[in-house]
Amino acid sequence: MMKQEYKLQNTYAALFLIHVILAYIANVYALGDPASIISIPQGKVQGTHQKAYSGRIYTAFEGIPYAKPPVGDLRFEEPVPVDKWDSILVASNNYMCMSFLPFPMIYGPKGTEDCLYVYVYVPRENVTGKENLEVVVHIHGGAFMMGSPQFMAGPSFIMDKEVVYVSFNYRLAILGFLSTEDEVVPGNNGLKDQSLAMKWIKDNIKYFGGNPESITLTGLSAGAASVHYHYLSPRSKGLFHRGFSQSGTALQPWALTENPLAKAKMVATTLNCTTESTKSMTQCLKKVPAKQLILAMKSLFVFMDFVPFTTFGPVVEKGGKNPFISEPPYKLLKEGKVYDVPWVVSNTRHEGLIPAGMIATMQTLSDLDKRWNEIGSFVLDINDTVAATDQMDVITKVRKYYLKDEAITNDNIYSLVDLFSDRVYKLPCEKAIRAHVAAVKSPVYYYFFTYILEMQSPIFHGIKPGSAHSDDGRILFPIIGTPPILKENDEKMMKHFTGFAEAYAKTNKPSFNNVEWKPVDPESRDINYLEIASPDDISMKKFKELGPNEFWDSLPIIENEKLF
């Protein structure tokens, strides 16, 4: 089932199994007994009781449809609001949108095409609808290619706070982000799913005790980039009141897909679908079983079945009557076309452990080293943004800058981590902060997470611990494999993060452990930031730059400001 190039060891497979078992153990939080019945305009919904981290009983409404199933003729179409239902909907189901998972033990197409559901969690045993609590909404990550709330955004930590928590599914990969670069399939259906879910929340959350005039939109990684996109899209204006992006913005290289039609045609050719016209190609792709469609995306991967990281993602739309975005994100920021509400954005110190740590754990560093000249442009996500004649020069310069003349091995894994941290996460984030703060009057806050979790993820087995991409997310909305009982310092940090989320939602001003958090000053080149080094070491600092901007700006990568 797995490709030989993976060279997976039994140890890694066993560790991943532990990951799944821990998630199963965590289900002790789910009591499952019937709870409140809520009436909403679509029909009646019954929840179930679950336990928060502290043992507090809360009510979960899991799996409420917000759109018609995007199947058959509705595949590749904009989401359509759900119809009413007659009987009581027992909301006790979790869904994962169809996607390709490149991991051992769960390799291949997983999920369902009928997946557009929301999950509402209320910190009460009995929900009356009169609670009027602040609402925290989370968009899960996964490179726009995979993921689900069930596995990437658990409620058990945040339900110890006085907020209503909501998460939702959105279409992923080719099913959510196919674009024919015209009116046939303009693209961004996954983001349009998100906007429709947000509208459903705005319209219905009052019935669950949430305040529709106080909605905090949060997201991790691709979810974080999605949050930033909602600041830039007229379709989302007014649907939230403040935002929080953990390790992602609309300016990340993986957050904008170039040449989507060419990628669509490659998949279509793999499936023997015609590419003579976008209409006939799309009609053919609509008839292909979902699993075959997802498997056909493998024709675009060049390394480990997940490089390039985002083969289908957000695009600048070139057709349609109501685009999500019709201009590049950087241009929208520079022109001030930004929803003006507060924004919190962040990075971790060792963001690049994803993917560098995964490559090392899967025993493929030697393959990356040997094949650098062949696949480096895809690994650096420049294959569509650097002229073909310049790509070898760019990947050679990047390798020389970070790795000198050394081979890529476990011994210098953190040189590779730094490369990915700068290119994939930190420098685009800095660019987004500077452009965003210049475009709005509302405050922008930034934190830098350097704390190393006591719980180390099994996917980084044998690697020196670091502050990895998504580690700060794991202690706010638990990701699969987060242990049901945290060690002392991780628990303290978790309480800081849930306290921050609650305070930000209630006051519009974020804080950690009572430290005064200064916003970014638009008049200064230095950026104020909150460094979170440990539960007892949180302080304000400043930086001039997050990484070697001069080096990266010298390279002919045509993205963001270089598009103009």
Just list the catalytic residues: 221, 351, 469
Q: CA 187 to CA 316: how far, in whole Å?
A: 8
Residues 6+ apart with CB under 8 A from 515: 530, 538, 539, 540
**Helices then strands, each counted (H, E), the chain:** 18, 15
Q: Which has the closest alpha carbon to 384: 226, 254, 293?
A: 254
CA dihedral 260, 434, 193, 161 (to 10 degrees): 150
Phi, psi of 342 (to 5 degrees): -60, 150
DSSP string, 321-368: SS-S-SS-HHHHHHTT----S-EEEEEETBTTHHHHHHHHHTT-HHHH
Choose among 194, 144, 187: nearest CA to 169: 194
Q: Is the torsion defined by CA of 202, 204, 206, 208 positive or negative?
A: negative
Alpha-carbon distance of 152 to 171, in angstroms, equals: 15
Nearest to 152 by CA among 432, 465, 482: 482
Q: Residue 79: name the closest of 232, 192, 221 by CA.
A: 192
Peptide bond into 308 cis (omega under 30): yes
518: how many CB neighbours lie within 10 A of its CB? 14
324 contacts 192 by C-beta, under 8 angstroms: yes
CA distances from 187 to 234, 426, 492 (A): 16, 27, 42
Instruction: In whole angstroms, give the CA distance from residue 181 to residue 187.
Output: 7
CB 326 within 8 A of CB 316: yes
Amino acid at 101: L
